[in-house]
Structure 1
Amino acid sequence: MLGVLDKMMHARRSVLALSLGAALALAGCSGSTMGEYPGYPSTPPGQPAPSGETIGQGSVRVAMLLPMSGGGSASSIATVFRNTAELALSDFQGADVQILIKDTGGTAQGAQAATQAAIAEGAELILGPVFAPAVGGAGATARSSGVPVVAFSSDEAVASRGVYLLSFLPRSDVARIVSHAAAQGKRSFAALLPDDTYGAVAEAAFRQEVGRAGGRIVSIERYKLTGNDTSDIAAKASQIAANAAQIDAIFVPAGNVAPFVAQTLSTGGVNLGQTRLLGSGQWESQQVLNAAPLTGAWYPGPDAAGFQAFASRYQSRYGSQPPRNASLAYDATILAAGLVRSAGPARFSERVLTNRDGFLGIDGVFRFERDGRNERGLAVYEVTGSGSRVISPAPRSFGSGS
């Protein structure tokens, strides 16, 4: 597995970065549909000079669309993603890529204009945008030009053929935690979900995965949360508690309410030593992991080692800790540089981007589906009340034929 690794990352510095979990490589098994194209031509000369900021000096142009002028947290994340792209190119020695930084303002209209400008300047791939409305705007414009998009939104509604989401999606969380619970003998499931768009997506995935695992659903409750009013959560949790004798596992994906739900269930007579609480990637916070009522609960997440190594290097270079989703910009940048090096003229084709062997990044293995969504290889963690521990490691590759 990972047979194309040395071809993509032969530079000593990049290999070292990979050993720290800080680089991304093609997962090229024997039998992969991907191949080498030695001597492929560089981007044709005569392109217009790029407007705005660029990173790198390579011949292949790739755009990164960010909400630079979005204000507040939008501008902050744009700065972090821009810095992360710069760090990624410095790690990938000899990358034949130039990144065109384009401002979306965080809006659909801004993303359309940024995409048009990037394509006019020769961009062969769009990285970003960050927010769902902007992804929609960029995707519509890029699709008409045949340019693929690798976006950072976690809203599955904006995924489509040619618009791939690199972010962590609810379906990956649900698939991993339900399959693990089933492997541990859990057969009867309940769920307590927020009454919003995320809850609807999580519920659809939950129903599908429980069925796939051969389990049954005893109860699904949807709650409303208004400010600090937890009365509806308490009422819905109590309804689940009333059927606890029939339930092996309870799925509570929202991390902000998980400690309260655990306490309410325990008060309602649920033995959380027997009826296992299941969470999502939203649980990855000290508030949740240090909550005593959640001790013994399980939740999915990426292998932490790669991000920790990346965060340390980001801190050293830019003087601050990056947010957790900064790894998306890193992996997207290395993905682009790696495909330019390994896949020749086919570098950003659908065949290459949806290769079933997938890719290996900071957060582990991932692959794109043709509908634009992704699948990730995640670990399963157990909450200890003072952090968490891995109880099922993340896979390092996708199984053959999967």
Structure 2
Amino acid sequence: MVTRPAVRQDFSPARDATAGLLKINLARRGFISAAMLTMLAGCSGLNTDGSAPGAPGVPAATGPATPGTTIGNGSVKVALLLPLSAGGQFGAIATGMRNAAELAVADFQGADITILVKDDGGTAQGAQAAAQAAIQEGAEIILGPVLADAVRGAAAVARPAGKPIIAYSTDVGVASRGVYVMGITPQVSVDRIVEYAAQQGKRSYAAFVPNSAYGQVVQGAFQEAVSRTGGRVVAIESFPTEASGINAAATKLSGVAGQIDAIFVPDPYNGQAVRALAAAGINTQRVQVLGLGTWVDNRAAAQAAPGAVYSAPDGAGFRNFATRYRARFNSDPPRTAALAYDSVSLVTALVRTQGSQRFSESVLTNAAGANGVDGLFRFRPDGTTQRGLAVVNASGRVVSPAPRSFNAGS
């Protein structure tokens, strides 16, 4: 058993009794957060997926990366690439994630790692230069970047060097062998809420989605999930962000009100979308409203549809993490900070337990996964990540707990 700091975090490795697989507990059992990049993308305008489709390939690095700082003084070097100089919301997120990495090292007593913090500027070129500098300084693995284009830039350097990446993007388009997308993706969130609805006997669905890139992504994921569970999608309507446009779009769904038993509203726009549906004649007390992480702590949406349910990590873990973060940094962490905390905790545990194979593909893609602040997760060989999410009702009560373990064959 690993000696633990005062916060009593459990980072010890344990063997799964049923599957015989390594499982690393990165946080106290039951502490799961709502750190969701998809939620930020939906409700604050943050685009964590990088540039528009069809962006050009990654150009060669044009110069050295901006000198960074280090965290810890262990023998194993780990790179942390963040858009520290990007400014605005990206800069604030980067600072929060850097702080979370520091907290993880402090929590893991005797961590034998040195984190090389590099500024990628939020660009492909910056990430390529930052990754090159970190690898030249001895980094064995790269954590980050956040933005998809930056992930592509870092991968252009890391792949030839044989260094794995644990990225914080939600764009599965950048996932590949050796490049693991850690962010909670729309597909994972949609799959969980549709599976729950099917378990409750829901078979006929409609969808009311924002007319945005985010809306298009979750709409596609929704259609796939409904088909997979044997349901049918009766109607889909997209709405513009203006209040008048939302009302007009909702009216188009009034004709299917009697044909559906669930309606997917991934982004409630502070309740405007749900109120528009009710005004159009869709009884949201009879028809189950299904949501995603944008419903977390959205009081206006909860008032508009008290019976709604959404998929998200159980918030208890993030609250515990946020308390410790505030005590150390005197500020609230961004929700994405839990990704940095979990990834640093994971590599620290692997350094302690897995020897020279610590960052090999077989170790990183171990089927039992890990349980962190953000809940249960595991990396697949194709670079995508499976998450154990809960289903929560609009009042914040968990109605279907997140799984405690993965099925060995799934």
TM-score, normalised on structure 2?
A: 0.85
**What secondary structure, in the 3-state scheme, does the structure 2 residue paired with 1:398 have?**
coil
- The one-letter amino acid of 1:398's match is F
Instruction: State which of 359, 374, 378 in structure 2 corresponds to 1:367.
Output: 378
On the 8 A contact 1:26/1:338 being kept in 2, the answer is: no
2:266 equivalent to 1:253: yes
Could you give the per-residue CA deviations for residues 307-331 of structure 1, whole angstroms, max 9, x where no partner exists? 1111001101110111111101100
Who is 1:123 aligned against?
Answer: 139
**What secondary structure, in the 3-state scheme, does the structure 2 residue paired with 1:242 have?**
helix
2:215 equivalent to 1:199: yes
- Tell me the CA shift for residue 175 of structure 1: 0.8
Who is 1:40 aligned against?
Answer: none
2:20 equivalent to 1:12: no
Who is 1:239 aligned against?
Answer: 252
Could you give the per-residue CA deviations for residues 118-143 of structure 1, whole angstroms, max 9, x where no partner exists? 11111111000111221111122111
Who is 2:48 aligned against?
Answer: none
Who is 2:404 aligned against?
Answer: 396
**What secondary structure, in the 3-state scheme, does the structure 2 residue paired with 1:256 have?**
coil
On the 8 A contact 1:255/1:280 being kept in 2, the answer is: no
On the 8 A contact 1:26/1:360 being kept in 2, the answer is: no
- Tell me the CA shift for residue 260 of structure 1: 1.3
Structure-to-structure mapping, 1:254-293, within 5 angstroms: 254-256=267-269, 259-288=271-300, 291-293=302-304
2:189 equivalent to 1:184: no
- The one-letter amino acid of 1:114's match is A
On the 8 A contact 2:23/2:369 being kept in 1, the answer is: no
On the 8 A contact 1:155/1:169 being kept in 2, the answer is: yes
**Separation in 2 of the partners of 1:255 and 1:116?**
42
**Separation in 1 of the partners of 2:279 and 2:223?**
27
**What secondary structure, in the 3-state scheme, does the structure 2 residue paired with 1:53 have?**
strand
Instruction: State which of 71, 88, 94 in structure 2 corresponds to 1:78.
Output: 94
- The one-letter amino acid of 2:103's match is L
Q: Would the alpha carbon gap of residues 149 and 24 (structure 1) be closer, same or farther in structure 2, given more than 3 Å must change?
A: farther
Q: Would the alpha carbon gap of residues 96 and 14 (structure 1) be closer, same or farther in structure 2, given more than 3 Å must change?
A: farther
**What secondary structure, in the 3-state scheme, does the structure 1 residue paired with 2:343 have?**
helix
- Tell me the CA shift for residue 239 of structure 1: 1.9
Could you give the per-residue CA deviations for residues 66-105 of structure 1, whole angstroms, max 9, x where no partner exists? 1121122222222211111111011111111110001111
- The one-letter amino acid of 1:393's match is P
Quote the RMSD (CA, aligned, Å).
2.2
Structure-to-structure mapping, 1:2-401, within 5 angstroms: 6=1, 10-13=2-5, 16-18=8-10, 28-32=16-20, 34=22, 52-225=68-241, 229-256=242-269, 259-288=271-300, 291-384=302-395, 388-401=396-409
TM-score, normalised on structure 1?
A: 0.87
- The one-letter amino acid of 2:330's match is G
**Separation in 2 of the partners of 1:318 and 1:356?**
35
- Tell me the CA shift for residue 52 of structure 1: 3.3
Stretches of structure 2 that go unaligned for 5 or more consecutive residues are: 25-65
Q: Would the alpha carbon gap of residues 316 and 345 (structure 1) be closer, same or farther in structure 2, given more than 3 Å must change?
A: same
**What secondary structure, in the 3-state scheme, does the structure 1 residue paired with 2:289 have?**
strand
- Tell me the CA shift for residue 35 of structure 1: 9.9
- Tell me the CA shift for residue 235 of structure 1: 2.6
**Separation in 1 of the partners of 2:298 and 2:215?**
23
Q: Percent identity?
A: 51
- The one-letter amino acid of 1:324's match is R
